[in-house]
Structure 1
């Protein structure tokens, strides 16, 4: 069974997933960003972004940063890098 993201942010065809990872030094988060596109009848994901995707991806990544920051602030009073 694959691990699921703890949070997803979606703006149109741009999707950012936030993953929680346990490390020796505590909980950390990582982020993946993809652009969704249709290939025939199937939806696919790409990690490449065109010019018109960049501002939307930037907004989604900024929101991911804020979400992680607030999660860490609420749980430990510290910030995650």
Structure 2
């Protein structure tokens, strides 16, 4: 994977980070949270209330990747 993501999609505290590697793509979906000390961290664990944003991020990532692949052909 490159050092910089190809694209990011953010909905609320949920972020889909899209990486391009040798012509294929991978996606990391994380949720941001604030620690008791006030520091921001990321996790791949989700609450029930996060799931709709996780699904929407995944769908938007799939659409973005599909558009990238269709322009390469």
Choose from 41, 46, 50 the match for 2:47: 50
Q: RMSD across aligned C-alpha pairs, in angstroms?
A: 1.0
Corresponding residue for residue 67 of structure 1: 64
Q: 5+ residue gaps in structure 2?
A: none
- Tell me whether 1:6 sits opposite 2:6 in the alignment: yes
Q: What do residues 31-74 of structure 1 show as CA deviations (whole Å, max 9, x unaligned)?
A: 00000000122100000011000011100110000000000001
Q: TM-score, normalised by structure 2?
A: 0.93
Higher Rg of the two aligned structures:
1
Runs of 4+ in 1 over 2 A off after TM superposition: none
Aligned length: 71
